Amino acid sequence: MKRILVTGAFGLVGSDLVLELQKKYGQDNIIALGRSTIDDSFQGILEQGDVRDKAAMELLVRKYDISEIYHLAGLLSVGGEKQPDLAWDVNVNGLKNILDIAKENKIKVFWPSSIAAFGPTTPKENVPQHTSLEPSTIYGVSKVTGELLCQYYFKRYGVDVRSLRYPGLNGYKAAPGDGTTEYAIHIFYGLLQNNAYECFLKEDARLPMMYMDDAIKGTIALMEAPSEKISVRTSYNFSAISFTPAELVAEIKKIAPDFQVTYKPDSRQQIAESWPQTIDDSKAREDWGWQEEFDINKMTQALYEGIKAKLAK
């Protein structure tokens, strides 16, 4: 039986992924590693620690006889700009620790890259798998570095590490984090708490996005695909929907016609403008059968219901 360690278990992706992995492989086989944002109501095996502490990570791997790691711990784009040194330390040195431990213990690894690996010299539309990667944020720089490190560890040491370039991921189990795309989650809190929201991006800032359930399904599918199907060892382009704040607001207004939205773009708008609008993810579709289920309409309904239920607790 697999024994899986999830780092960043209480972050945006981890909060959904851990539950899904528990359902699939049993609560006793999933070890959730958290640090500052541990959820008190969590049920399962919980460990506290820092991915920058390699010795502590090694001890955990031995204690639980870990066979797979979903290494999610990391800073996002906005958080990274606030603390660039910390972003490098956690995102790059933390990943290197995990890859070294994977090499020594024959562990399979998932690690998320991001659309933030792209930059102003990347085409804006239908970005191909292999393209210019010149990001302008430290978060993006850490993701390009991480992608190359993953490919190096695969080619040089045979580490079975797999990765996706996540678009903006929208879920409701975790509190929204310090990312640029996260306006698409914050907006539902604005709706349900004040019937109003001030958006930090321009109304026409189109970005690649995905509902969390699709992201979790794709992540597990990538990890379960036979090794010979994985032709990309940097990170796969991975996409579902693309929308602007105005298009999301139009969807929300189908549920709440009186919702008031204003726009006050700040430095996050520059980050959004450095990223592409649509992504060509045909490699993921061809190699291991990626297919999303949620369009903007289904995603809006799911986020609305999920955040409403959460706030009612």
- Residue 48 and residue 20 in contact, taking contact as beta carbons nearer than 8 Å: no
For residue 68, what are the β-bridge partners? Answer: 4, 108
Query: In which region does residue 126 sit, left (phi positive, over 0), alpha (psi from -120 to 50) or beta (all else)?
Result: left
> Per-residue x/- mask for ligand SER, residues 152 to 171, rule CB under 6 A?
--------------x-x---
The verdict on 296 binding ligand SER (CB under 6 A) reads no
Q: Which of 181, 237, 274, 300: binder of ligand SER (CB under 6 A)?
A: 181
Give the binding range for ligand SER (CB under 6 A) out of 2-10, 32-40, 174-182, 212-220: 174-182
Nearer to ligand SER, 81 or 251 (CB): 81
Point out the residues that are catalytic.
139
Footprint of ligand SER on residues 182-201 (CB under 6 A)?
182
Q: Give 211's DSSP letter.
A: E
The verdict on 77 binding ligand SER (CB under 6 A) reads yes
Give the binding range for ligand SER (CB under 6 A) out of 101-109, 173-181, 239-247, 298-306: 173-181
Taking alpha carbons only, the member of 174, 169, 177 closest to residue 240 is 169
The count of other CB atoms within 10 Å of the CB of residue 104 is 12
Helix (H, G, I), strand (E, B) or coil at 170: strand
Nearer to ligand SER, 180 or 219 (CB): 180
> Per-residue x/- mask for ligand SER, residues 104 to 143, rule CB under 6 A?
----------xxx---------------------------
Tokens 């990943």 label which residue? 95
Residue 152 beta carbon to ligand SER: minimum distance, rounded to whole angstroms? 22
Residues that bind ligand SER (rule: CB under 6 A) add up to a total of 11
- Residue 15 and residue 171 in contact, taking contact as beta carbons nearer than 8 Å: yes
- Whether the CA torsion 183, 184, 188, 189 is positive or negative: it is negative
The verdict on 76 binding ligand SER (CB under 6 A) reads yes
Phi/psi for 158 (5° steps) reads 75, 20
